[in-house]
């Protein structure tokens, strides 16, 4: 009854209240006028941002994950919320996961009353969507430049109304990289009207030059871009009086003595208060690419970032009129008719994956693994309901009910990447068994290993002839620390029993490991099973209650 009452109340609460989430496991705002990096302790790879008055909007790579092109909003560059997504389908549509493909390194700009997001699809070309508001609706994707290997695009509308586009190249598709090219677009930014010109070649000195962002300041054209590779690279600044160059360059941010690997790829913003800041990512292996914030000093005529070109870990907050402390959403009570903005699927959403219920749950239907033509693991299961990991140490707990109508129907929690491990409850005969599913090399087609951990009796059963089912209520938990996952379960939500073997997290393809819910079955025919998720909670310690 309480869940139903909450659901009715929440439907009439203004949507703004959803954004004011406070994380238990990571908050960059220190409460004393300073912040500690990362400002986003989650996998927002290849971040870019723009300012509209005192509001800041950030987007990031989403690859195959849908909805894609996440848009985050902030009033001070430190406290962020997920505002929505600009892409609800892959292009072209696909119900099969396209791991590592799709949306690469977007750029977001506000021009002439509209938001524009450009990204590179390495197999199709430079894509673009636009909208008058970040909430949408966004236009259908437009292919601005067709071709393989074009990645990391960024537009610039010049003072005379002309529009230029800079981009990098993916060696995996084009056969070369480390070069940046520039071309002119139509004034509306919809199509290329000139051929590309190489404006920079990183060569051996700045190998793997990529991720360019194009700006104009004080009569200079600027390209800010990383080189040297994701794990150990650095930031370059290039300037020229002509958009086509020649460009002179300097390193403006690097690891130095800071111990901060990377620092890699991001975007510059000039605030309404007259300050300059730069966001960039840091690669943290299985946790993905987390986002840092650095001050920018132009006094030398170059945008020197951080402390003399090395990253700050803690620094004063940007000047802002906002005092709101908030973080991207993590926990979910599933009391809304809309799925929380933190969740993504591995492919385009299909209604048969799952949907909210009127009594305050989210229902996943068991996906038939035989549809995957003999594949031996969960790598290409599209209906995994996943979100980014929020910190290096956290506890994730889910309260679930599996309604199993046939044997071999399973549901539970999962840590997913190129390898994965899941804690699931599975119907077997007239009861259930708790199992750990593990696969170390899922991308390579390795067979999944299943280990029985405990036998469980049904919580309830239906005897209706046309709809027989066994039910099992359970609390499932994963504790994550230093890249290792340890599972536990409870029948009452108070006392948790550790089970299974520890699992070392692995990143996905160009993304960090992701956590969430799984519902699958080994049957090719028959009624599907149901996994009703009451809530999913992220806590620092304890049992999630």
275 has catalytic annotation: no
Handedness of CA 153, 159, 163, 164 (dihedral sign): negative
Cα–Cα distance for residue pair 282/278, rounded to 1 Å? 13
Given 210, 332, 532, 534, the catalytic residue: 210
Peptide bond into 92 cis (omega under 30): yes
- For residue 10, the Cα-to-chain-centroid distance in whole angstroms is 26
Neighbours of 33 (CB within 10 A): 8
Contact by Cβ (8 Å): 295, 303: no
46 has catalytic annotation: yes
Does residue 493 sit in helix, strand or coil? coil
Given 43, 46, 121, 332, the catalytic residue: 46
Cα–Cα distance for residue pair 179/182, rounded to 1 Å? 10
Task: Tell me which H or E stretch contains 103.
Answer: none
Cα–Cα distance for residue pair 186/485, rounded to 1 Å? 50
Cα–Cα distance for residue pair 333/390, rounded to 1 Å? 17
**Phi, psi torsion values for 69, nearest 5 degrees:** 50, 65
Q: Are strands 248-253 and 234-240 parallel, antiparallel or unpaired?
A: antiparallel
186-to-145, 156, 165, 264 alpha-carbon distances in Å? 11, 11, 10, 30
Does residue 484 sit in helix, strand or coil? strand
Cα–Cα distance for residue pair 19/9, rounded to 1 Å? 16
Q: Is 3 exposed, middle or buried (0-12, 13-18, 19+ CB in 10 A)?
A: middle
Q: Are strands 367-368 and 514-521 parallel, antiparallel or unpaired?
A: parallel
**Phi, psi torsion values for 255, nearest 5 degrees:** -60, -50
- Catalytic site positions: 46, 210
């Amino acid at each position: 009854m309480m869940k139903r009452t909450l659901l009715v109340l929440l439907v009439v609460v203004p949507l703004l209240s959803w954004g004011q989430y406070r994380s238990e496991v990571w908050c960059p705002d220190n409460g004393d006028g300073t912040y500690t990096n990362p400002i986003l302790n989650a996998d927002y790879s290849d971040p870019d941002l723009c300012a509209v008055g005192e509001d800041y909007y950030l987007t990031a790579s989403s690859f195959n994950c849908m909805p894609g092109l996440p848009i985050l909003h902030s009033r001070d560059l430190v406290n962020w919320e997920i505002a929505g997504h600009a892409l609800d389908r892959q292009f072209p549509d696909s119900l099969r996961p396209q791991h590592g493909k799709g949306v690469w390194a977007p750029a977001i700009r506000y021009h002439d009353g509209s938001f524009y997001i450009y990204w590179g699809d390495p197999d199709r070309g430079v894509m673009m969507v636009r909208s008058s508001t970040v909430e949408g609706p966004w236009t259908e994707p437009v292919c601005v430049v067709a071709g393989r290997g074009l990645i990391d695009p960024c537009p610039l509308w010049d003072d005379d109304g002309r529009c230029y586009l800079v981009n990098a190249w993916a060696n995996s598709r084009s056969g070369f990289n480390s070069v940046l090219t520039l071309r002119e677009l139509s004034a509306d930014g919809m199509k290329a009207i000139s051929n590309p010109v190489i404006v920079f070649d990183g060569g051996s000195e700045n190998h793997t030059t990529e991720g360019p962002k194009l700006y104009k300041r004080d009569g200079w054209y600027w390209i800010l871009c990383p080189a040297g590779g994701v794990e150990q690279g650095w930031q370059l600044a290039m300037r020229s009086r002509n958009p086509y160059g020649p460009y002179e360059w300097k390193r403006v941010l690097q690891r130095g003595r800071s111990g901060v690997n990377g620092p890699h790829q991001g975007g510059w913003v000039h605030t309404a208060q007259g300050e300059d800041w730069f966001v960039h990512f840091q690669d943290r292996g299985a946790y993905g690419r987390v986002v840092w914030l650095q001050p920018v000093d132009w006094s030398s005529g170059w945008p020197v970032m951080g402390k003399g070109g090395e990253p700050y870990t803690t620094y004063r907050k940007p000047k802002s009129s906002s005092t709101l402390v908030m973080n991207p959403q993590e926990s979910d009570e599933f009391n809304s008719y809309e799925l929380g903005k933190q969740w993504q699927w591995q492919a385009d959403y299909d209604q048969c994956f799952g949907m909210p219920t009127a009594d305050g749950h989210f229902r996943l239907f068991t996906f038939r693994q035989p549809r995957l033509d003999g594949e031996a693991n969960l790598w290409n299961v599209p209906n995994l309901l996943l979100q980014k990991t929020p910190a290096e140490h956290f506890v994730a707990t889910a309260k679930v009910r599996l309604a199993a109508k046939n044997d071999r129907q399973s549901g539970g929690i999962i840590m997913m990447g190129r390898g994965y491990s899941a804690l699931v409850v599975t119907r077997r005969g007239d009861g259930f068994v708790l199992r750990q599913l593990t696969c170390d090399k899922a991308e390579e087609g390795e067979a999944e290993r299943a280990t029985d951990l405990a036998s469980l009796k049904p919580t309830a059963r239906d005897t209706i002839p046309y709809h027989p089912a066994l039910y099992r209520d359970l609390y499932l938990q994963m504790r994550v620390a230093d890249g290792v996952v340890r599972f536990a379960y409870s029948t009452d939500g108070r006392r948790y029993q550790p089970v299974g073997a520890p699992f070392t997290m692995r990143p996905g393809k160009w993304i960090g490991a992701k956590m969430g819910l799984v519902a699958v079955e080994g049957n090719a025919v028959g009624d599907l099973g149901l996994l009703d998720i009451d809530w999913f909670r992220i806590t620092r310690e304890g049992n999630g209650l």
